[in-house]
Amino acid sequence: MPYTLSDKILMAHSGKKDIRPGEFIEAELDIALGNDITAPFAIEEFRRSGVKKVFNNKKIVLVPDHFAPAKDLKSANQCKILADFAKDQNILNYFEVGCMGIEHALLPEKGLVFPGNLVIGADSHTCTYGALGCFATGVGSTDLARAFIDGKCWFKVPSTIKFVYKGKLNKWVGGKDLILYTIGKIGVDGAIEKVMEFKGPVIDNLGMDGRFTMSNMAIEAGGITGIIEPDEITWEYVKQSHKSQAGHKSQVTSHKKEKIDLRSDKDAHYEKTYEWDVSKLEPLVACPHLPSNVQPVSELSGITLDQVVIGSCTNGRISDLRLAAKILKGKKVKPGLRLIIIPATQKIYLECVKEGLAEIFVKAGGVFSTPTCGPCLGGHMGILTEGERCLATTNRNFIGRMGSPKSEVYLAGPAVAAASAVKGRIVHPEDL
């Protein structure tokens, strides 16, 4: 029987010879992830179970990134729970402030997730790792607690929707625009409990950073994960991430032993297939208050801004920041506008310093921050008050997402964000 890539990964980790959508399976995990918001609940449940030791101290990853560096006493207590648990259980992949980053950029960078892996995280954007050809999905804290105990999780086998992108992307158009276009077409409920499989010549030519952006926002369409078959671009990224971490205690040393064919079968069944020629696509913006409320940037030129945020697990990678710096170099942020730039990891932070990007951002009048989720979820480092409007490279723009319920958040890629920071209103990069 033909299978999709997601089917094959779930079969390999459950030991089943056949699998069907809607079926419940129990599967062994390669990685279980928690952060400073979700892991404390999982730790509490783990201790309540009476189990003394986690199933594998190398396969649990703890990253305090949402409210870290701690913004107040409550967030400091949350982070301390992670630190104490990591010490007590000898968790090798615990990343404290100073070596941490935004989790969904950090794990791939550290070589902790791998094509063919089965990964859960108590954070909805765990689906990001699907860009590497993983089955990666968000779960609740009690599911994470169970994973701490025996390294397993229950899954309802999902069906898969195939998205095929044809043509050639225009200048300034990237992964963020592709996923916004997709969500705009199918809606925030268009892939509920489904796998979104991204394919086609446009994906084949898209770099890893753009692929991570697309997989990251699969959840914004309701998807369980956004998966891309591994190719030469994928394997080169994996090779470089492992090479850069050689000798680090945090590096994964083993993966699932069963060999998995990391491509969907040609005659695999898909619940739906969408095919789009995106050759004429221009940069897009998601308007309040849904990621599906998508408009071409050319139709939004009169919208003034109070704040621009460039960063997050969606667009805080080095190519994103290089693009923003290219636009901001030699220019100044519009007086009265706050520009906040947040690299996704310490490695990216250092690259920005070495390449002179940090200097460009600061000279332009921006703030260059330590890695943190910060304002994306209304945490810190850029909360909006009543009546304020922000353009961000983050992934959600729900009511109150970045602060006051009476504020507004628009979503776009780094090029549009940087250009808009200069003009003080939403503009196409070409308008500069």
Spell out the domain ranges in the chain.
5-247+270-276, 285-431
> Is the confidence at residue 277, as pLDDT, over 70?
yes
pLDDT in tens, 68-107: 899 999 999 999 999 999 999 999 999 998 888 999 999 9
Q: Measure the N-to-C terminal CA separation of the chain; round to a whole number of Å.
A: 54
- What class has domain 5-247+270-276? alpha beta
- What pLDDT score was predicted for residue 36? 94
At which residue do the structure tokens 């590096």 appear? 251
Predicted confidence (pLDDT) at residue 23 exceeds the cutoff of 80 = yes
pLDDT value of residue 243: 72
Mean per-residue pLDDT, 315-325: 97
Mean pLDDT, the chain, integer: 94
Q: What is the pLDDT of residue 60?
A: 97
Percent of the chain with pLDDT over 90: 91
CA distance 101 to 254: 23
Place of tokens 């009543």: 386
**In the prediction, which pLDDT does 140 show?**
95
State phi, psi for 255 to the nearest 5 degrees: -135, 180
How deeply is 370 buried, as exposed, middle or buried, from its count of CB atoms within 10 A (0-12, 13-18, 19+)? middle
**For residue 244, what pLDDT is reported?**
64
CB-CB contact of 145 with 45 (8 Å): yes
Q: Is the dihedral of CA 407, 409, 410, 416 positive or negative?
A: positive
Looking at 173-258, which runs of residues are DSSP E strands?
195-199, 225-227
Q: Copy the structure tokens of residue 2.
A: 């033909």
Handedness of CA 253, 121, 72, 375 (dihedral sign): positive
CB neighbour class for 158 (10 Å; exposed up to 12, middle 13-18, buried from 19): buried
Residue 254 has pLDDT above 60, yes or no: no
Residue 222: the pLDDT is 96
> How confident is the model at residue 246, as a pLDDT?
53
- Which residue matches tokens 């209103």? 425
pTM here is 0.93
Q: Please tell me the predicted confidence (pLDDT) of residue 260.
A: 84
Q: Which single residue is written with the structure tokens 């030519």? A: 205
Q: What is the pLDDT of residue 252?
A: 38
Residue with tokens 């506008």: 337
Instruction: Over range 204-231, report the average pLDDT.
Output: 97
CATH architecture of the domain 285-431 equals: 2-Layer Sandwich (3.30)
- Does the pLDDT of residue 12 top 60, yes or no? yes
pLDDT band at 129 (very low <50, low <70, confident <90, very high): very high
